Amino acid sequence: MSTDDLRKVCVIGASGKLGRYMVQHALDRGYQVVGVCRERSVPKLAAFADRITILPGPTNDREVIREAVAGCDGVLTVLVPWGVHQYSSGTAQAVLDFAEPHARLVFSCGWHVARDEHDRYSWAFKTTVRMVTPLARLVRAVDIDDQVEAGRRIFASDRRWTLVRGSDLEEGESQGLPVWRRHVGDPALASNMTRRVDFALFMVEALTDDTLVHEAPAIVGRLSPSALAHTGEASGAAENAS
Ligand SMILES: NC(=O)c1ccc[n+]([C@@H]2O[C@H](COP(=O)([O-])OP(=O)(O)OC[C@H]3O[C@@H](n4cnc5c(N)ncnc54)[C@H](OP(=O)(O)O)[C@@H]3O)[C@@H](O)[C@H]2O)c1
């Protein structure tokens, strides 16, 4: 799908940090934007209020999602790792069920969602996830397993999806489109750091990059040391090699 074919985009989780960057990138491209966020978070979108349509509601509410994605050529979904009510998997399922048949669907998550057996995780990474998952569920803060379940449902779908897997994130000026690799564990990703604004840029660019359909790119900052070391001059999404 080219930028010209894409007119209307839905951002689900628009009020978060990633969401607001995605709204800005989408507006910069001239897309019409529909943003979904929790009712209490609507004020976080005040800066965009006169330029986007805001639909308040829980993002795992199927009726809210059905209404939000109607007529949209692209849907950008923040898979939220917070809470223990199947929030991520519920959101993903509703988007897969109700988005327009032609729509490009781009979802966000972290590296911990494995695409297949070729993803390789360090001992330290695996230990952290193993320790954090039950503890977080215990305090009802984070449900990492539910993002994994959302990933499973996305991978099984024949919709035109991309699941973008983010490294650790930081704030800061854009460095340009992140470098991506098909599998976690690739040496180019070792720095494990991406600017959040560039994660959002990758998500929005993916809407019009058909080479990313049915891919789960693991991303890292274009100017991070590992990206620079393994790509010569980090040349962005086209640099995928593994
Ligand atoms: N943080 C990282 O280092 C990191 C690393 C890798 C990948 N990622 C991925 O990047 C994406 C964005 O993550 P982020 O950390 O940058 O956060 P973020 O953009 O601030 O997004 C957090 C989202 O979670 C929602 N949220 C927060 N608490 C909630 C609750 N109790 N119930 C329901 N929704 C809730 C927020 O909505 P409200 O605005 O309504 O609060 C917002 O939409 C996620 O898909 C995450 O998996 C993050």
- E strand or H helix that includes residue 10: strand 8-12
Question: What is the predicted pLDDT for the residue at 56?
Answer: 97
Q: Give residue 233's pLDDT band: very low, low, confident or very high (50, 70, 90).
A: low
- Binding site membership of 38 for ligand 1 (Cβ less than 6 Å): yes
- Binding site membership of 151 for ligand 1 (Cβ less than 6 Å): no
Domain count of the fold of the chain: 1
- What are 134-161's pLDDT values in tens digits? 666 665 555 668 899 999 999 999 999 9
- E strand or H helix that includes residue 37: strand 32-37
Question: What is the predicted pLDDT for the residue at 236?
Answer: 47
Tell me the average pLDDT across 182-200.
97
Alpha helix segments (H runs only) across 29-162: 62-69, 87-98, 123-138, 144-155
- Binding site membership of 193 for ligand 1 (Cβ less than 6 Å): no
106 versus 240: the higher-pLDDT residue is 106
Question: What is the predicted pLDDT for the residue at 143?
Answer: 61
CATH of the domain at 61: 3.40.50.720
Tell me the average pLDDT across 196-219.
98
Alpha-carbon gap, residue 26 to 176, rounded angstroms: 15
Pairing of strands 179-181, 218-220: antiparallel
Give the residue, by CA position, lying nearest to ligand 1 atom 48.
Answer: 110
- Binding site membership of 168 for ligand 1 (Cβ less than 6 Å): yes
Alpha-carbon gap, residue 241 to 9, rounded angstroms: 30
Question: Which atom from ligand 1 is nearest to the alpha carbon of 40?
Answer: 40
Domain of residue 20 covers: 3-239
Tell me the average pLDDT across 119-131.
82
Residues 6+ positions from 11 with CB-CB distance below 8 Å: 19, 22, 23, 26, 33, 34, 35, 36, 76, 78
For the ranges 75-84, 171-180, 214-223, 232-241, the lowest mean pLDDT is seen at: 232-241
Q: How far is the CA of 232 from the centre of ligand 1 (A)?
A: 32
